[in-house]
Amino acid sequence: MARSALGANIGYSFADPALLRRALTHRSHGAHHYERLEFLGDGVLNCVIASELYRRFPDSGEGDLTLLRASIVNQQSLVTVAQGISLGSHLLLGEGELKSGGAQRPSILADALEAVLGAVFVDGGFEAARGVALHLFAAALERADPRAAGKDPKTLLQELLQARRIPLPKYAVIATAGDAHEQTFRVECVIPELNIRTQGEGASRRSAEQAAAHRAYELGIRT
């Protein structure tokens, strides 16, 4: 597919098309790859989403805003956006990477999407990158729910499972480490019906359960 089609998908026309080409070039394809732009784009995307959440949710505290941002800027969410603009078909990959399915690999799609945002920032400045990011993440921003963000992961997971009539998860301590006054707990969360098994660590059993529940919830909402 022509790169100009990708430009149309993201709603931006590059003054310097070489920047877009670089944003789409995996390191397996050549030295002028996207990794520096990815570093830049990660910072730009986090800033844009933070400022948009700050604006949209004037009653949400810092903790909720942080959770909301994490629910929008994560690999799964980036992959969904990348798939929506057919980013994979525009990637420049080395032969081995191409044959092994690199164009559909989540980590590559997510990284290249950040690189594209970095390239827009270099090409057109912050406001241009902001416009593209808000366009691409419009659906994710619409789904962002500060009421959900205020709930702890175990509660969210429980509600998710109840809504689907699935039995509640089982939590078990599988390891502890450290002295008595500074222990670390590792807890496993198991939901056999969804084939989910996650682990979490924390300074208390409860916080380790919350960490494991958080990962299970992230997997569960995509199942």
Residue of the chain from 7, 9, 28, 35 that contacts a second copy (CB under 8 A): 35
Write phi, then psi, for 58 (nearest 5 degrees): -65, -15
Tell whether residue 47 is a contact of a second copy (CB under 8 A): yes
Tell whether residue 30 is a contact of a second copy (CB under 8 A): no
Residue of the chain from 24, 65, 110, 113 that contacts a second copy (CB under 8 A): 65
Tell whether residue 207 is a contact of a second copy (CB under 8 A): no
Tell whether residue 28 is a contact of a second copy (CB under 8 A): no
Q: Which of 38, 42, 123, 218 is catalytic?
A: 42
Residue 85 C-alpha from the chain's centroid: 16
Give the whole-angstrom CA distance, residue 51 versus residue 100.
38
Residue of the chain from 9, 21, 28, 36 that contacts a second copy (CB under 8 A): 36
Which residues, in sequence order, are bridge partners of residue 196? Answer: 191
Q: Is position 114 annotated as part of the catalytic site?
A: yes
Tokens of 113: 């999407």
Q: Would you say 216 and 172 are in contact if contact means Cβ atoms under 8 Å apart?
A: no
Element (H, E) at 134: helix 126-136
Tokens of 190: 């198991």
Tell whether residue 54 is a contact of a second copy (CB under 8 A): yes
Q: How far is the CB of 174 from a second copy (least distance, A)?
A: 8
Of 57 and 104, nearer to a second copy (C-beta) is: 57
Strands 196-202 and 184-191: antiparallel
Give the whole-angstrom CA distance, residue 41 versus residue 46.
8
3-state secondary structure of 191: strand
Interacting residues with a second copy between 111 and 130 (CB under 8 A): 118, 121-122, 126-127, 130
Tell whether residue 60 is a contact of a second copy (CB under 8 A): yes
Q: Is position 42 annotated as part of the catalytic site?
A: yes
Residue of the chain from 177, 192, 203, 221 that contacts a second copy (CB under 8 A): 177
Give the whole-angstrom CA distance, residue 10 versus residue 89.
14
Tell me which residues touch a second copy (CB under 8 A).
35-36, 38-40, 42-44, 46-47, 49-51, 54, 60-62, 65-66, 69, 118, 121-122, 126-127, 130, 174-178, 184, 186
Query: Catalytic residues, which ones?
Result: 42, 114
